Amino acid sequence: MGTICKMSSQWSWVMNALYIFLSICSLGVSGGLVQSCGYIIPESPLLTLGSNFTALCILNESCLDFGNIHANQIIWKIKSSVVPKEQYRVINRTVSSVTFSDTSTLATPLTCNVLADGQIEQNIYGIAVTLGLPPEKPENLSCVVRQMSKNTFIMTCTWNPGRDTFLATDFRLKSQWPKETLPDCEPQGVNNSCEISNVQFFVNLEVWVEAKNALGKAESEHINFDPVDIVKPLPPRNLIVSSGELPTVLKLSWENQISVVEMELKFNIRYRISDSPDWMEVPPEDTASHRTSFTVQSLMPYTKYVFSLRCMKKDGLGSWSDWSKEKSGVTSEAKPSKGPLLWRKIGTSHSPNSRTVHLIWKELEPSEANGIILKYEVAVRARPPLLCPPEKYSVNSTNLTLNLTNGTYDVTVTAHNRIGGSPPSVLLLPASNSKASVKDIKAFPKDGKLWVEWMAPDKSIVKYVIEWCIVSDSLDCTIEWQQELGTSQGTFLKGDIKPFKCYLISVYPLYTNGQGNGQSTKAYLQQSMPAKGPTVQTKKVGKAEAVLVWKPLSVDEQNGFIKYYTILYRTINGNETAVNVDPSKTEYTLSSLSSDTLYMVKMEAHTDEGGTSGPVFTFTTQKFGKGEIEAIVVPVCLAFLLSILLGVLFCFNKRDLIKKHIWPNVPDPSKSNIAQWSPQTPTKHNFSSKDQMYPEGSFTDVSVVEIEADDKKSFSEQDLKPFNLLKKEKNTSEGHSSGIGGSSCMSSPRQSVSDSDESESAQNTSSTVQYSTVVLNGYRDQIPSVQVFSRSESTQPLLDSEEKPEDNPGGGENATPRQQYFKQNSSQDETNTDGSYFERAKQVTPPVNEEDLVGLTQLQISGHRSQLCGSGPEKNKPESALADALRSSTEGQILRLETMGINTATVDEEIPKSYMPQTVRQGGYMPQ
């Protein structure tokens, strides 16, 4: 049921809309629905801003019947904004009004709209609303007649049109003579001025302005004037400036562009120095008459001036013309008006009785030079007691260096140009600065300049000299200076004062009879942060402290006064600590530091404008403090030295024991008495022929030649029997090295043809063998001719009995030539040693018979190799057997031939000889 009702309502709405559309189409009237169903009155109204306005919307009767429309359904809109319903008023079924109390809020278009069937908003009608204001009365009407050429004039009138009316407003300039109305002047493109070209002089003219628009009109005040009284003439032309005979005047001439018949003029002349922006004017009363030339006076000599002039009606009516084109001229030269400012600098001299004076003076200003300065004349006059004549100098520069004897001088400087010389500038050069100096000198920036002030020491000061220069490490201090009156107590420095530069300023008071010492101070025109920070280093590092040093910043790097330094230091992971240091210091000690710790430190330099950091420096504190290492090392060293001392004392007390175990006495083989010793041999042998065979000194060297056997097998069983006996006894006896029958070959053994047991046994006994016996055996069963003993070259200690020549029965003067031979070939004199051993040998040795000697000589040397003991021979098996055979034949004892009183020479003669090959070298032993 609800759905059916809803569909019925929608169809009803569609039908009503279709009906309204068809109605509009069927009427075919311009404006369509708006004109068909209603309209608004007034139609396109013109309204004054801020006024009250009411509009009516009237509906047509035809719309009421078919569209079911009523006046209370009307909606008023300004553009797209709905007007509040409080401003509506329904007059009847077809009329609705809207009222605006202030039209300044009104805009266009204003439309009347209805809700068709209560739902569709339809526009009924709309109007365009025009808002504006009526014109105001034009104010400040004025007119001027401008001269366009010598005979052409145009009058231009201007006025203030007033406020904007927001409407088209017509302005007209009206004028009339007393008996004639002139045509209106219509402005062209503007609303506040108008030009009239037809101007008549010497007739009264009435002028006014009329303004008019849709809301009303207004008229300005009427003004009356003669056009000749409002003329603005053209400026004079062809201005010429020329110098006169006098250096202080210039003559001007020009041409006027208006006829004197039309009006007389007066003039206004202005001038200035060429490099100055400030103008000066000739007094108006001097140029109040009509003229074409004028002479300007009271000018400065040799100065360039720029001139310009203008004109107006002589009676002062009308307007001044524009200024003429500028022209310049230069006055003539005159003598300089004043002498140059003079000062001096006292230098060092090589002589104690003189001084170097540098005179300096400033160039004159153009206004003072009055021309081109050609030269300066300097006069130097000595005051008593000096008797030096006056000296004069002519220079082209502004300085002069003099070498003056100590004393007081008057110096004058005069500047000269083409006209003449200036008044002299005088400077007193006292012998010393004995007068009072200024007090409390200060310098500081003020008004963008550097201000210097001081306190006067006395009222009799003639003038002050202020010196200043830039303090720099890279530039010399170039002195600049200025003079001030003696009444001054402060001044600005004149010149190019630069910021961030340090200035050294000195003030000297000058008296009539001397001068005072200069007082100095330093100042900056403007300060900044330092260009860099100090570079810090360590001078000394301890366990808990570090001494930091740095170089002060140079003046060029400071950029201001250093107020203080800040030292910032920290560990790698620790917090930063800051310490402020006085700027006069260059060293500071950091304390309470941790031992064996890496620290990072840097410095900042601060001025009034801020601070700048230097590079970071690192250092490590020491692990031990001062004296700690010494406290450890010194006791240790003392203890060590004490231990050494005690050890030395102990060794000294036990030197015999130590020598016995460490350094045993090793007899010198060259001093051995082997020449006095030989095995016991039968007394019937006579070796006396040895002296003849080997005379003393005939041998100089000995070399041992090895005798080799082809093979051990070539020996018969009888030949090897003694060797087997020696092999058996060798393992049970250690005493074989005490006699000549022992072998020293074991001192450096090599394995021979025997088995390893024989070799090992030889090695165990090698340390005690000192001499060896070489036994020459005949071939096969032949009897050897002689037994020969050879001295060993071993360095092993000799037997005690070998060092005792006195124990040898054949020693001393009764020694055989053979024994003398061994003596004479010794490198040093023989020393007597203990002979107890040989004495024992005599006691225990039984007599040797001839059969034993024959048995001894029947032994032969065999084996692979046989060498002398001193050169490291091999221990041969036949040699061991030979030793055993000797021991068994003499009941275990070694027999010396000398002990038994046997002459070795006799043995050599009686027994057939068998010699080994030998080589004799100078200085050697006799071969055996």
Alpha-carbon distance of 87 to 99, in angstroms, equals 5
Q: Say if residues 309 and 235 touch (Cβ distance below 8 Å).
A: yes
* 404 Cβ contact partners less than 8 Å away, ≥ 6 residues apart: 354, 355, 356, 357, 380, 429
| CB-neighbour burial class of residue 637 (10 A; exposed 0-12, middle 13-18, buried 19+) | exposed
Under 8 Å CB-to-CB from 189, ≥6 apart: which residues? none
The pLDDT, as a whole number, for residue 818 is: 40
Of all helices (H) and strands (E), which one includes residue 154?
Answer: strand 153-160
* The pLDDT value given to residue 376: 96
Cβ neighbours around 902 below 10 Å, total: 25
DSSP 8-state assignment for residue 248: T
32 Rama sector, left if φ>0, alpha if ψ -120 to 50, beta otherwise: left
For residue 680 the two structure tokens come to 């016991």
Question: Both tokens of residue 440?
Answer: 């409390």
Residue with tokens 């001192």, as numbered in its chain:
747
Residue 192 has pLDDT above 70, yes or no: yes
* 286: three-class secondary structure by DSSP: helix
Check if the beta carbon of residue 326 is closer than 8 Å to that of residue 301. Answer: no
Does the pLDDT at position 859 exceed 90? no
Percent of the chain with pLDDT over 90: 47
> 657 pLDDT band (50/70/90 cuts)?
confident
| Enclosing H/E stretch for 196 | strand 193-196
Task: Check pLDDT > 50 for residue 517.
Answer: yes
Q: How far apart are CA 858 and CA 785, in angstroms?
A: 9
Mean pLDDT of the residues in the chain: 75
Q: Do 295 and 303 meet the contact criterion of CB atoms below 8 Å apart?
A: no
pLDDT reported for residue 309: 96
Identify the H or E element spanning 75. Answer: strand 74-78
Q: Is pLDDT at 217 greater than 90 in this prediction? A: yes
For residue 385, cis peptide bond before it (omega within 30 degrees of 0): yes
- Report the range of poorest mean pLDDT among 149-153, 517-521, 594-598, 625-629: 625-629
Q: What pLDDT does 812 receive?
A: 39
Residue 910 pLDDT greater than 70, yes or no: no
Give Dmax (Cα) for the chain.
207
Distance (Å, whole) CA 58 – CA 69 = 12
pLDDT digits (tens, 9 = 90+) for 331-381: 999 999 999 999 998 887 778 888 999 999 999 998 899 999 999 999 999
Contacts with 206 (C-beta within 8 Å, 6 or more apart), sequence order:
175, 176, 177, 178, 222, 223, 224
- How far apart CA 900 and CA 841 sit, in angstroms, is 11
Candidate from 330-344, 605-619, 870-884 with smallest mean pLDDT: 870-884
- Rounded Cα distance between 656 and 704, Å, is 40
Name the residue with higher pLDDT: 186 or 26: 186
Q: Where are the alpha helices (DSSP H) in 292-361?
A: none
Report d(CA 442, CA 489) in Å as an integer. 11
DSSP bridge pairs for 139: 160
Indicate the range of 482-491, 615-624, 686-695, 845-854 predicted with least confidence.
845-854
User: Are residues 314 and 264 in contact, defined by beta-carbon separation less than 8 angstroms?
Assistant: yes
User: Does residue 863 register a pLDDT over 60?
Assistant: no
For residue 329, CA distances in Å to 250, 294, 332, 809 come to 7, 14, 10, 152
Of 119-128, 174-183, 515-524, minimum mean pLDDT range: 119-128
Pairing of strands 490-492, 130-132: unpaired
Place of tokens 């009509």: 290
Q: Is pLDDT of 22 > 90?
A: no
Q: Give me 873's structure tokens.
A: 């021979």
Q: Which residue has the higher pLDDT, 7 or 173?
A: 173
Pairwise CA distance, residues 524 & 501, whole Å: 6
How confident is the model at residue 36, as a pLDDT?
59
Given pLDDT bands bounded at 50, 70 and 90, which one contains residue 626? confident
Closest CA to 369 of 398, 344, 326: 398
Q: Does residue 809 sit in helix, strand or coil?
A: coil
Residues recorded for the chain: 928
* Closest CA relative to residue 18, chosen from 169, 135, 120: 120
Question: In terms of pLDDT, which residue wins out, 351 or 595?
Answer: 595
Query: Residue 840: is its pLDDT beyond 70?
Result: no
Residue 393 β-bridge partners:
378
Three-state secondary structure call for residue 389: coil
Contact 607, 558 (CB under 8 A): yes
Strand partners, 392: 379
Which residues, other chains included, contact 209 with Cβ-Cβ below 8 Å and sequence gap of 6+?
A: 138, 141, 157, 159, 171, 172, 173, 174, 219, 220
How many helices and strands in the chain, by DSSP H and E? 15, 51
- Band (pLDDT 50/70/90 cuts) for residue 241 is very high
pLDDT given for residue 65 in this prediction? 66
CA distance 562 to 582: 9
Burial grade of 95 (CB within 10 A; 0-12, 13-18, 19 or more): middle
Q: Which one, of 595, 594, 599, lies nearest residue 548 by Cα? A: 599
Q: Is the peptide bond before 42 cis (omega within 30 degrees of 0)?
A: yes
Lowest mean pLDDT among 469-478, 482-491, 808-817: 808-817
pLDDT at site 366: 87
* CB atoms inside a 10 Å sphere around CB 708: 12
| pLDDT classification of 72: cutoffs 50, 70, 90 | confident
Q: What is the pLDDT of residues 553-578, one digit of tens each?
A: 999 999 999 999 999 999 988 899 99
Report whether pLDDT(650) > 90.
Answer: no
How far the first Cα of the chain sits from its last, in Å, is 167
Say how far apart CA 77 and CA 113 lie, in whole Å. Answer: 8
Which residues are CB-contacts of 655 (< 8 A; sequence separation ≥ 6)? none
User: Which tens digit of pLDDT belongs to each residue from 145-163?
Assistant: 999 998 899 999 999 999 9
Contact 913, 687 (CB under 8 A): no
Is the pLDDT at 277 greater than 50, yes or no?
Answer: yes
Structure confidence at residue 259 as a pLDDT band (50, 70, 90): confident
pLDDT above 70 as % of the chain:
68
Confidence label for 117 from pLDDT (cuts 50, 70 and 90): low
**Closest to 291 measured CA to CA, from 245, 328, 253:** 253
Q: Which residue has the higher pLDDT, 38 or 772?
A: 38
**Which of 460-464, 655-659, 870-874 is predicted least confidently?**
870-874
Examine the pLDDT at 727 and tell me if it is beyond 50.
no
Phi and psi angles of residue 151, each rounded to the nearest 5 degrees, phi first:
-125, 10
Q: Which of 376, 388, 465, 383 is nearest to 412 (CA)?
A: 376
What's the average model confidence in pLDDT over 177-206?
90
For residue 660, the SS3 value is helix
pLDDT in tens, 44-56: 898 998 899 999 9
What pLDDT sits at residue 66? 61
Per-residue model confidence (pLDDT) at position 103: 87
Over residues 590-616, the mean pLDDT reads: 94
